[in-house]
Structure 1
Amino acid sequence: MRLAEFIETSSEPILIEWVAFAKSCGPAAKLMDEAALRDHASEMLRAIVIDLRSPQSSLEQSEKAKGNADSRPADPDTAAEVHGAARAWSGFTIGEMVSEYRALRSSVVRLWVKSCGTLTGADLDDVVRFNEAIDQSIAESITRYSTDLDHSKEMFLAVLGHDLRTPLGAVLMSSQFMLDTGELIEPNLTLTKRIAHSARRMNEMADDLLDFTRSQLGSGVPIVRARIDITRTLRHAVDEVEAAFPGRTFEMRATGDSEGVWDGARMSQVFVNLLSNAAQHGAAGSPIGVQLLGEDEEIVVIVHNFGAVIPPSALFGIFSPFKRLTPGAPVSHDASNLGLGLFIADRIVKAHSGIIDVTSSFEEGTSFIVRLPRDSKAPPAPLRATSRTDRRARQRAED
């Protein structure tokens, strides 16, 4: 009996063993009934039978072995893809899901050999085709599982960042109102200032979470373009970081035409991030250089500092999310950030059709270089609902 016929006629014993194994797959399985444990196993077996009976050239077999099976974007979800999504939703780990396929492979071959007694050369071909089909199903399930899980995490971060803003807004407004009265005395004055400062930092972190999830979920970092003089934006950013790091010296120099069409508040966000990084990681007592060059078609901004060199291994992927410039370094006074600053800066610059790069060596120091075309050809993003912090930054950038 060929393997396709055996699977077709013996699907129930195979499914019984599938359910028995699935029940042993961790805590999530213990909360599921038999129908949920079976999930799409029956449909996956039917797909394997169809695959075994379909003619396959040597080239097609080679492509499948490489994971390049014929799959078109317009096709509906396969049974294996739906199974991966269901297991992710049910709480199975990816290892537990893959182990189901290992058990299925073992059950089918064992029951088939037991039924047939001996295998012929044609049967060995069936085993090869069967293993290819199982591997393809595993690949489809893992891809869907990972995609859905990542999407769920990103949605969680988006909801968290959004919902944090309301209570933080209340804390920030209340503490600022108490400070504005001018009636607080020590130690209440110092404590209230700390509350206001911490609330602002948390609000910035919530903004970073929202920007991160927007970029990951496909909508991108929202940009609102207007004609501005970016020298003013950069100077405001230097003033802001100078106030936050009173012990650091910034030397700014701007030459050439610095007008163009950009989102001033967003570019201020980029500059503050780069300047803060330089202040945190630069050598004490060494000035931080800030240079703006207005060229014919673009402007170039360079933030330079001497200090600890960024190792080559860290330069690769430095603009990835949750990445820190100096992994394992002592926690600084501003280390409450999420490691999203450079990632968001990169996304903002790219949304302006620009480029951000970094070089670092002991001799030359560390330089972050931002290149922005004067008039971005990228289509404007939809308008966003701005927070109080965003509005304040936008007003500073346009002054």
Structure 2
Amino acid sequence: MTLADFILNHTEPILKEWESFARSIWPGPTASRSVLRDHAGDMLKAVAMEMKTSQTESERAAKSKGLAGGDSGAPDAASVRVDKASHLHAVSRLSSGFELRELVAEYRALRSSVIHLWILTVPEPGAQEMQDITRFNEAIDQSLAESISSFAEKVDASREYFLGILGHDLRNPLCSATLLAHVLAESSTLDPRSRQMALTMRSSLDAMNLLIRDILDFTGARLGARMEVSPKPMDLLPLCREVLAEMQAIHPDRKFVFSAPHDCLDGTWDSGRLRQLISNLIGNALQHGSPTTPITLSASCPGDDVLLAVHNFGPAIPEEKLGVIFDPMKRHSSSESPEPSTTLGSLGLGLYIAREVATAHGGTITVASAGQETTFNVQLPKHCEAGE
């Protein structure tokens, strides 16, 4: 009897072992039989049907690499059934409180149970049986990969929903506190010491508002929401000067250099978003650049676009991080220890937000880093349409 036929004809004994194992690792009060078994029956049937489907050499090679397609790259109907059952199982186990390692353990136990029960019925395993085991392992690996992917996506989405809700709920009381701090800081009745305290409080609350704005932008983009922009006619020149003046006031010991033409920086953009982009790039240069060398912001007008460049001296970005520099999750996970943050209140979202702002305007952002110099280049079309 082939392994695929064995699975179809002996599903109940296999499910009993699955149920027993699931009960042993269940995170909480013992669940019912149907909950313990969940979609295991569907997965077994899908795996068996996939094993009985003819397979070309290219499909075999693709599946050995964790891919479901062959020459066309499109999965066949049997592979689709495996993926669907695996996805449903992962989502169900997550809602039951499973950790990822427990989900993987179920598959490991299932693989062991099926092969053990089947081998007992095979007097002398030969080449055909080895081929069956290979097909079974490929199908189980495909199912496991789909389950892990679905599980991880749901976990990430849950975390980002939580961050979004947290940021939204914090924003209203923080706005009230910020307004009061601004009123106090401008009051003429305070003594010098109290006024300085009010200014410090205002600066700290402004920093917190920026953090919450970044969190909301980040979670919105990660959950599929496109960053909203409200483009209006504007001149980029005074905006650049305003941002640099603000940075100079916050960092009086640092040197900033600005260079730009005076006659070609008019366009249609969202001024608030571009302020955010420029501030984030300069903030990144302050955080990672040399504290004794100037930071340069330049603007130019190649053709129908505007090019913004932020340049700093200091250690180059490691080559292995250049490809993930705009993704804070991948950037921090690509090294054994997270990058130390030297900026108070930094979540490491600045470059990600800068990229989203550029993209929302129909532009691009790139980075070049070598030797002791790093430059971020932002290219924007002069006229951005809302929702572009």
Same fold (TM over 0.5): yes
Give the AA of the match of 1:289: T
Change (3 A) 1:109 1:193: same
Gaps in structure 2 of 5+ consecutive residues: 70-74
Do residues 287 (structure 1) and 273 (structure 2) align? Answer: no
Contact kept, 8 Å, 2:287 with 2:341, in 1: the verdict is no
The residue aligned with 2:227 is: 221
Q: Deviations over 1:339-359 (max 9, x none)?
A: 000111011112222222233
The residue aligned with 2:387 is: 381
Task: Output the TM-score relative to the length of structure 2.
Answer: 0.86
Contact kept, 8 Å, 1:29 with 1:92, in 2: the verdict is no
Q: Deviations over 1:84-103 (max 9, x none)?
A: 11222323222221221111
Do residues 212 (structure 1) and 212 (structure 2) align? Answer: no
Q: How many residues align?
A: 375
The Cα shift of 1:371 comes to 1.8
1:166-315 equivalent positions in 2, closer than 5 A: 166-185=172-191, 187-255=193-261, 256-315=263-322
Gaps in structure 1 of 5+ consecutive residues: 383-399
Separation in 2, partners of 1:352, 1:146: 31
Q: Deviations over 1:82-123 (max 9, x none)?
A: 111122232322222122111111111111222344435443
Do residues 9 (structure 1) and 9 (structure 2) align? Answer: yes
The residue aligned with 1:64 is: 63
Contact kept, 8 Å, 1:289 with 1:303, in 2: the verdict is yes
Do residues 48 (structure 1) and 69 (structure 2) align? Answer: no
Separation in 1, partners of 2:12, 2:227: 51
Contact kept, 8 Å, 1:21 with 1:100, in 2: the verdict is yes
Determine helix, strand or coil for the equivalent of 2:233. strand
Q: Deviations over 1:12-62 (max 9, x none)?
A: 22111112212233x626554432221100111121232233333444333
The Cα shift of 1:329 comes to 7.0
The Cα shift of 1:186 comes to 5.7
Separation in 1, partners of 2:249, 2:40: 62
Identity in percent: 37
Q: Which moved more, 1:338-347 or 1:184-193?
A: 184-193
Contact kept, 8 Å, 1:172 with 1:199, in 2: the verdict is yes
Contact kept, 8 Å, 1:257 with 1:295, in 2: the verdict is no
Separation in 1, partners of 2:101, 2:299: 52
Q: Deviations over 1:305-364 (max 9, x none)?
A: 33344343443422222558x9877653x332100001110111122222222333446x
Q: 2:130 aligns with which of 106, 110, 124?
A: 124
The residue aligned with 1:369 is: 377
Determine helix, strand or coil for the equivalent of 1:246. coil
Contact kept, 8 Å, 1:22 with 1:29, in 2: the verdict is no
Change (3 A) 1:99 1:354: same
The residue aligned with 1:386 is: none
Task: Output the TM-score relative to the length of structure 1.
Answer: 0.84
